[in-house]
Amino acid sequence: MSSDQILQMLELKNQTLLQALSSLTLMPVLLLLIFLILLWFITSPTTKNSPPSPPKLPIIGNLHQLGSYPYRSLEALAKRFGPDLMLLRFGSVPVLVISSPETASEVLKTNGLVFSSRPKLIVFKKLLYDHRDVSAAPYGDYWRQMKSVFVLHLLSNKRVQSFRGVREEETKLMLRKIEQQSMSSSPDHSVAGNLSEMLSTLTNDVSCRVALGRKYCVGEDGKMFQELLKEFMELMGRVNIGDYIPWLAWWSSVNGLNAKLDKVARRFDDFLDKVVQEHRDIGESDSKKNNGINGKNEDNKDFVDVLLWLQKEKVAGFALDSLSIKALILDVFTAGNDTYAILEWAMSELLRHPRVMNKLQNEVREIVGSKAMVTEDDLVGMNYLKAVLKETFRLYPTIPVLLPKISTEDVRINGYDIKANTQAIVNIWKISRDPKSFNNPEEFVPERFINSSIDLKGNDFELIPFGSGRRICPAIQYVSAIHEIALANLVHKFNWALPEGARGEDLDMTETTGLNMRRENPLRAIAIPYYSRAKYLKDGCS
């Protein structure tokens, strides 16, 4: 055998050896992949009588189909696979998607007790004191106790009315800022102001005064708080992959999500500790000055005052610990911080529809007359104002897909068998645009709610922006009061126009991605101070 033949033989053996080694290296990967695929199909809880489902991928299920705007993606899937009800898979988690008012009633009302609990999500665990707040707490005694604190002590009719002065005062400050900006911008008031920023400041300042006793909008503390609150709200809308694919939970450590959650949670906790301690110190000081009696009267108490009083006197009938107090305060901010979004969308639609704007201004100005400002007493007869806000909620619900619930037992919905531990989400964005419920559902037509019995209290399932049943948001009256007084004054005090002569139909209406539905770009508009005929005549104008 020649030397060349020997070399060829050795080279062939080396190639064979390398191929064998490559096969051995790939074998574990292939075996793992086969195992995961088999595990996926074996553990799938679907039954012969499950709701319709779109095709899913191994491991991730239907997660890839959610897109940047989940409510729109879910609507598209519902049209193809289940207009009322469909079953998706988010990783290893079965998720029921409700897309019609009838099915929403079946889930939230008829079977409300079965779907009263919440899944435990990592974001809520880290940011909301391990689910100690009202919105994320699992159904049970603790949740009932916290809900009673909200309903009876923080957001009762009497308590909401006690903050009337705060709402009117902050609204007046906003109007003054807009007027000063308008008067100083140019002789013809042609410079547009950032209305989104004005509205955000208003609702944030009201929430701070109501919850914490003072505003946090100026100085280093104010800047820090605003940045912290923004980070907090952004993280509340993030999805942690470990909630749906547990064996990939490590990824949130790699991409930095866990570190961000821990950092924001720690900073917010330090901030709330400081706020609570300040209230304790002031309460003790007042008590010493007044022979054991707190100096604040009932109408001047903010939410922290009320919660500390409940803790001290044990009025609620159970022990209210410090973590629960801080969790409840956080709920106020998660509920109230995005209140401005509805005002932002309402003003956007009014600018796009001059007919509606004029009709609303006529109603408000006729009722208010020559008074400088709308008060809450004036709001009672403003039916068109309420219709405008309902129509805004219909088209732009603040949370377009309700927070997930989880079934606590097997149940039958619309004739389909639903297993226990199935998550359920209600696509209220799709429901409120259902042509079966509303004519021309994509159009902004407040008149549809004139002489209509539909309200926002969760009884009319074609319009449930605050949810319904046991888990309905308890802050309906609180946020509605801010919406009405702010919007009424904006249209009473000013005439409005878009900058640079833009037409209403050209206004960018793109919404943000994430948990909450807000404008992607700030709303800029020109405010022109309105003078009534009486004012003109008084000043000698024709």
Q: Using one digit for the tens of pLDDT, what is the confidence trace for 30-47?
A: 555 554 554 444 445 556
Least confident of 79-83, 160-164, 318-322: 318-322
What CA–CA distance (Å, rounded) separates 377 from 369? Answer: 13
**396 belongs to a structural domain:** yes
Across 427-456, b (16+ Cβ under 10 Å) vs e yields bbbbbbbeeebbeeeeebbbebbeeeebeb
pLDDT at residue 11 greater than cutoff 90: no
Is the pLDDT score of 28 beyond 60?
no
Range of the domain at 152: 141-538
Lowest mean pLDDT among 250-254, 345-349, 499-503: 499-503
* 458 belongs to a structural domain: yes
Q: CA angle at residue 400 from 394 to 405, to 5 degrees? A: 125
In a domain, 96, yes or no: no
Looking at residue 52, its pLDDT comes to 95
What is the SS3 assignment for 93?
strand
Task: Evaluate if residue 331 carries a pLDDT over 70.
Answer: yes
Number of domains in the chain: 1
Instruction: Give the model's confidence band at 21: pLDDT under 50 very low, under 70 low, under 90 confident, else very high.
Output: very low
- Of 228, 282, 188, 281, the C-alpha closest to 528 is 188
Q: What is the distance between the alpha carbons of residues 485 and 362, in angstroms, rounded to a whole number?
A: 16
How large is the average pLDDT for residues 258-273?
Answer: 94
User: What is the CATH number for 287?
Assistant: 1.10.630.10
In a domain, 1, yes or no: no
In a domain? residue 13: no
345 found inside a domain: yes
CA atoms within 13 A on the CB side of 507: 24
Amino acid making up residue 182? S
Confidence of residue 516 (pLDDT cuts 50, 70, 90): confident
Would you say residue 194 lies in a domain?
yes
Query: Does residue 274 fall inside a structural domain?
Result: yes
